[in-house]
């Protein structure tokens, strides 16, 4: 019973994303009483059939195996039949990022990346091993750009900083900058105690310290900081609110980077659900997948970040590209034929590269 209850609902979701853990656990729990009922009302009465009781044991076993194979085949068939058309028959042109985007109200047939591949549309530093994960704490970073006369830009932060790597990488390829990237999953570029999987994130502390030391040694022309606005990353304890600890942690980081200008990226919108799930269910009404702008940001942390920058004695700037992601009311998940997010809160590599020009407009004056 357990296997069909896991396979069929997953197929019905029309998404490559696994069902939430709580749903899978609930389905597993539901399999127990269903299995008991099948045993009581089906299996036991069938085993009492005189023809089975008098027949050879191998025939009983063969019938049981055939029944099991039939159940598996039925479940598999349902899982293959359930997914319906997940895109429109219409196509859409590629659109360059612009202010107050309306988004695309259907899922284009020429979607880029496709719903099947979007979750793996990661920055190149993931495959290259430059992005640190788990307990890894190598702060040596990786570099892009061969123009020796271009300004050196350091990118520092967690996976949301890594989401900006494709945009900066494109600028490096064009000769606008030289890029040095140091990113680590779930590790905020804040000098404050952090946690990972409900325990102190010691490797993050070491990594952050080493990256800041390397910035002091190299003295780049600009440091770009970015982080996921998630208060649960902060170690609990004390009387201070999460926004107070965020403010103080960023203030300490900025004080450590006393030299080059610092661009702190305002975080990108967080979607209510993985866009792939919603888009697959709404091929002709993709606008339903847009998150209300009022719900897309952790506003207390946004304000804490802005206050820390405004109060800093160093050359720090808040880079806010929100209006390229949201219009006055919503934050769409599609622009032209491009998927903006690969999950609830990470940019696709495809869209990040398209954001190179808007980002350059913000940081060019800081390296001039």
Write out pLDDT tens, residues 329-339. Answer: 999 999 999 99
- Is residue 93's pLDDT more than 70? yes
3-class state of residue 59 by DSSP = helix
pLDDT for 31: 74
Q: Is residue 348 part of a domain?
A: yes
pLDDT for 82: 43
Residues 147 and 210 in one domain: yes
- Spatial contact of 286 and 279, defined as CB atoms under 8 Å apart: yes
141: left (phi over 0), alpha (psi -120 to 50) or beta: left
The alpha carbon dihedral of 292, 90, 274, 73 has a sign of positive
CB atoms within 10 A of CB 110: 13
Number of domains observed in the structure of the chain: 2
- Is residue 328's pLDDT more than 60? yes
CB-side neighbour CA atoms (13 Å) of 93: 3
CA angle in degrees (0–180, nearest 5) for 295-298-301: 160
| Residue carrying the six token digits 């027949």 | 55
pLDDT tens profile 250-285 = 999 999 998 999 999 999 999 998 888 899 999 999
Q: Is residue 97 part of a domain?
A: no
**Residue 14 structural domain:** 2-81
| Residues of the chain above pLDDT 70, percent | 82
Residues 354 and 264 in one domain: yes
Q: How far is CA 293 from the centre of its chain?
A: 18
Distance separating alpha carbons of residues 295 and 259, to the nearest angstrom:
36
Boundary of a domain, candidates 27, 55, 81: 81
| Residues of the chain above pLDDT 90, percent | 72
- Spatial contact of 316 and 255, defined as CB atoms under 8 Å apart: no
pLDDT for 77: 54
- Spatial contact of 189 and 158, defined as CB atoms under 8 Å apart: yes
Task: Name the average pLDDT for the chain.
Answer: 88
- Is residue 300's pLDDT more than 50? yes
pLDDT for 2: 56
Rg (CA), the chain: 26
Exposure string for 303-341, b = 16+ CB within 10 A, e = fewer: ebbbebbeebebebbbbebbebbbeeebbbbbbbbbbbb
Q: Is residue 35 part of a domain?
A: yes
Boundary of a domain, candidates 81, 104, 131: 81
Q: Is residue 109 part of a domain?
A: no
- Is residue 9's pLDDT more than 80? no
Residues 325 and 224 in one domain: yes
Q: Is residue 203 part of a domain?
A: yes
Upstream peptide bond of 309 is cis (omega within 30 degrees of 0) = no
- The band of 164, judged by pLDDT with boundaries at 50, 70 and 90, is very high
Kindly state the DSSP code that residue 40 receives in the 8-state scheme. Answer: I
Lowest mean pLDDT among 14-23, 93-102, 191-200: 14-23
Instruction: Please name which of 272, 311, 305, 314 lies closest in space to residue 290, comparing C-alpha atoms.
Output: 272
Residues 148 and 49 in one domain: no
Lowest mean pLDDT among 20-24, 190-194, 202-206, 354-358: 20-24
pLDDT for 49: 63
């Amino acid at each position: 019973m357990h296997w069909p209850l896991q396979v069929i609902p997953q197929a019905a979701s029309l998404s490559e994303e696994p069902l939430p853990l709580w749903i899978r656990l609930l389905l597993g729990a539901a399999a127990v009483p269903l299995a008991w009922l099948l045993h009581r009302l089906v299996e036991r009465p069938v085993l009492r059939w005189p023809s089975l009781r008098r027949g050879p044991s191998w025939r009983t076993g063969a019938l049981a195996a055939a029944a099991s194979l039939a159940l598996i085949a039925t479940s598999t068939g349902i899982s293959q039949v359930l997914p319906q058309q997940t895109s429109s028959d219409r196509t859409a042109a590629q659109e360059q990022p612009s202010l107050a985007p309306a988004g695309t109200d259907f899922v284009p047939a020429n979607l880029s990346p496709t719903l099947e591949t979007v979750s793996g549309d990661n920055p190149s530093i993931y495959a290259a091993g430059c992005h640190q994960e788990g307990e890894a704490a190598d702060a040596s970073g990786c570099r892009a750009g061969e123009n020796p006369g271009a300004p050196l830009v350091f990118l520092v932060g967690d996976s949301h900083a890594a989401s900006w790597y494709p945009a900066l990488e494109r600028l490096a390829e064009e000769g606008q900058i030289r890029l040095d990237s140091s990113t680590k999953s779930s590790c905020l570029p804040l000098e404050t105690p952090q946690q990972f999987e409900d325990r102190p994130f010691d490797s993050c502390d070491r990594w952050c310290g080493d990256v800041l030391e390397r910035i002091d040694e190299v003295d780049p022309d600009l440091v770009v900081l970015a982080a996921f606005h998630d208060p649960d990353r902060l170690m609990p304890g004390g009387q201070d609110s999460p926004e107070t600890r965020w403010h103080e942690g960023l203030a300490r980081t900025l004080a450590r980077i006393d030299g080059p200008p610092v661009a702190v990226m305002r975080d990108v919108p967080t979607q209510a659900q993985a866009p792939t799930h919603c888009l697959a269910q709404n091929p002709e009404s993709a606008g339903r997948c847009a998150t209300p702008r009022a719900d897309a940001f952790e506003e207390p942390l946004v304000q804490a970040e802005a206050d820390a920058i405004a109060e800093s004695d160093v050359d720090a700037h808040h880079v806010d590209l929100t209006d390229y992601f949201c219009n006055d009311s919503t934050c769409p998940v599609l622009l032209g034929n491009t998927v903006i997010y690969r999950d609830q809160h990470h940019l696709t590599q495809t869209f990040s590269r398209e954001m190179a020009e808007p980002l350059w407009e913000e940081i060019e004056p800081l390296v001039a």
